[in-house]
């Protein structure tokens, strides 16, 4: 049995899709949601599903290993970042080697790195005038958006698109692919 912790600090639409996808799953369970924002809508959503939640402060995250203790108490085997903006500290990466993935709303390495999140990404895509964008699911290392790519899917960008319409198209891809890519990673890993 794999037990997933989702780290999220925003609305949590991806978190919801992942939770719903694994609700009746035999081998995978979403067991914990971790957030750095006590008011994040993702927390109330997770609670509706009866999922354990943990709110962390910057100090706790970077200067203690409390999160690690909770993860091990909860027997978490895999971490999914879905709208979590803090850099993951080395102690967490070391304890979850190739067991942390993130989703980025563009085709990395383009439009990645510090400050490239949310609408900033889609505005940059629009300004650059590229004709396609998409999603990247990648392993997480100590640097923003630089871990090995696991999966990408793309969609067109038209001249008439606004950053908002690009965001909508990209979000559709996220919701469509993220849960099943996680499932494939987990089931593939189990077979090793």
Which residues are identified as catalytic? 104
Paired strand residues for 135:
153
- Count of all residues that appear for the chain in the document: 192
Nearer to ligand GRF, 15 or 33 (CB): 15
Nearer to ligand GRF, 99 or 104 (CB): 104
Query: Looking only at residues 147 through 186 of this chain, which bind ligand GRF when binding is defined by CB under 6 A?
Result: 174
- The bridge status of strand 100-104 relative to strand 132-139 is antiparallel
Q: What is the DSSP letter of 31?
A: E
CB-nearest residue to ligand GRF: 83
CB of residue 177 vs ligand GRF: minimum separation in angstroms?
11
Q: What does the block give as tokens for 24?
A: 């009746």
CB of residue 190 vs ligand GRF: minimum separation in angstroms?
26
Question: Does position 104 bind ligand GRF by CB under 6 A?
Answer: yes
Of residues 57, 44, 55, the one with CA closest to residue 15: 44
Strands (E), 45-158: 52-55, 78-81, 100-104, 132-139, 149-156
Query: Looking only at residues 47 through 86 of this chain, which bind ligand GRF when binding is defined by CB under 6 A?
Result: 82-83
State residue 81 phi and psi, 5-degree precision: -95, 120
CB of residue 182 vs ligand GRF: minimum separation in angstroms?
13
Binding to ligand GRF by CB under 6 A, coded x per residue (else -) over 12-51, reads xxxx------------------------------------
- Could you say which of 10, 112, 134, 179 contacts ligand GRF (CB under 6 A)? 10
| CB within 8 Å of 184: residues ≥ 6 apart | none
Of residues 160, 169, 1, the one with CA closest to residue 78: 1
CB of residue 16 vs ligand GRF: minimum separation in angstroms?
8
Question: Does position 105 bind ligand GRF by CB under 6 A?
Answer: yes
The contact set with ligand GRF (CB under 6 A) reads 8, 10-15, 82-83, 103-105, 174
């Amino acid at each position: 049995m794999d037990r997933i912790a989702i780290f999220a600090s925003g609305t949590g639409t991806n978190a919801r899709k992942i939770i719903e996808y694994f609700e009746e799953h035999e081998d995978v369970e979403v067991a914990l949601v971790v957030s750095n924002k006590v008011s994040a809508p993702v927390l109330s959503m997770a609670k509706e599903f009866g999922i354990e939640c943990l709110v962390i402060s910057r100090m706790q995250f970077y200067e203690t290993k409390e999160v690690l203790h909770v993860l091990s108490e909860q027997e978490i085997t895999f971490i999914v970042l879905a709208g979590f903006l803090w850099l993951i500290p080395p102690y967490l990466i070391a304890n979850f080697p190739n067991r942390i993935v993130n989703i980025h709303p563009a085709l990395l390495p383009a439009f990645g790195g510090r400050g490239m999140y949310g609408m900033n990404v889609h505005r940059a895509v629009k300004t650059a005038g590229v004709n396609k964008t998409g999603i990247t699911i990648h392993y997480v290392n100590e640097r923003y958006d630089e871990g090995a790519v696991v999966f990408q899917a793309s969609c067109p960008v038209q001249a008439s698109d606004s950053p908002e319409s690009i965001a909508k198209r990209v979000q559709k891809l996220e919701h469509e692919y993220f849960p099943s890519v996680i499932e494939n990673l987990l089931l593939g890993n189990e077979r090793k």
